């Protein structure tokens, strides 16, 4: 067992991240080992789940070290390329302490149906869990990035569109990214967005727009 894996066994944040990962897996939001979760350690590093590890079987020693400088992550072969977006989020938003990336059916289908670069969710009470200061009718905007781009291009687009970001975005066909300043808030954000996706898909279907 390497030094990082050994220290993770007693790290309370690593333990909590793995517990959250198992909860997310039980929701079927990370099929076939997809998705990745990370938690910040300091200004230039985070612990992150390895690529395609079954999130129902996560343990602290599975977590790998992700480091960055000027948006370039380390080249650890156990990490998914999407960790470049994790490191970009941490550098863009100093308040970000946790990043969750999931690939639920609702989020993935929604991202492919909506061809615009963003979507405005209006009229839902749960919007207030995402942006507490907004009113029901004011709406919460969710940016959508095009997955046809390579990961470095996606990271650059994320940086370019940071003024549109609050705490989440979609990558078309590749799922949802959310971040927050603690694990509990990240969990709440994720669950709220999943509810909104399900509502919007149902609304579009009932209204004949699908």
DSSP class of residue 117 equals S
Confidence at residue 78, expressed as pLDDT on a 0 to 100 scale:
74
- Residue 163 binned pLDDT confidence (cut-offs 50, 70, 90): very high
What is the pLDDT averaged over residues 79-89? 92
Cα 9 to Cα 94: distance, rounded to the nearest angstrom: 26
What is the pLDDT averaged over residues 81-102? 95
- Spans of all domains in the chain: 3-206
Confidence at residue 112, expressed as pLDDT on a 0 to 100 scale:
94
Cα 181 to Cα 167: distance, rounded to the nearest angstrom: 10
Q: What is the pLDDT of residues 12-29, one digit of tens each?
A: 999 999 999 999 999 999
Q: What is the pLDDT of residues 95-152, one digit of tens each?
A: 999 999 999 999 999 999 998 999 999 989 888 888 876 555 578 999 999 988 899 9
| Least confident span in 5-9, 137-141, 202-206 | 5-9
- Domain 3-206 - what CATH class? alpha beta
Confidence at residue 149, expressed as pLDDT on a 0 to 100 scale:
86
Cα 60 to Cα 119: distance, rounded to the nearest angstrom: 36
* Residue 11 backbone phi and psi in degrees, to 5: -80, 115
Residue 73 has pLDDT above 70, yes or no: no
Confidence at residue 75, expressed as pLDDT on a 0 to 100 scale:
56
Q: What is the pLDDT of residues 38-68, one digit of tens each?
A: 999 999 999 999 988 999 999 999 999 999 8
Looking at every residue in the chain, the average pLDDT score rounds to 89
Residue 3 has pLDDT above 60, yes or no: no
Confidence at residue 5, expressed as pLDDT on a 0 to 100 scale:
55
Q: Let me know the angle formed at the C-alpha of 111 by 66 and 24, rounded to the nearest 5 degrees.
A: 50
Residue 172 has pLDDT above 60, yes or no: yes
């Amino acid at each position: 067992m390497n030094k990082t894996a050994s220290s993770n066994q007693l790290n309370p944040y690593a333990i909590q991240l793995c517990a959250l990962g198992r909860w997310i897996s039980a929701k079927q939001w990370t099929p076939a080992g997809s998705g990745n979760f990370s938690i910040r350690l300091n200004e230039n590093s985070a612990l992150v789940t390895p690529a395609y590890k079954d999130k129902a079987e996560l343990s602290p020693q599975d977590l790998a070290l992700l480091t960055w400088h000027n948006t370039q992550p380390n080249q650890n072969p156990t990490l998914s390329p999407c960790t470049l977006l994790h490191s970009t989020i941490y550098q863009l938003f100093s308040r970000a302490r946790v990043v969750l990336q999931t690939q639920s059916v609702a989020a993935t289908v929604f991202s492919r149906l909506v061809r615009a670069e963003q979507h405005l969710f209006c009229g839902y009470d749960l919007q207030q869990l995402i942006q507490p200061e907004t009113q029901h009718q004011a709406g919460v905007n969710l940016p959508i990035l095009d997955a046809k781009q390579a990961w470095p291009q996606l990271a650059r687009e994320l940086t370019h569109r940071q003024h549109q970001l609050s705490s989440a975005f979609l990558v078309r066909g590749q799922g949802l990214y959310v971040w927050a300043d603690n694990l509990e808030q990240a969990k709440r954000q994720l669950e709220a967005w999943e509810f909104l996706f399900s509502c919007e898909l149902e609304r579009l279907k009932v209204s004949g727009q699908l």
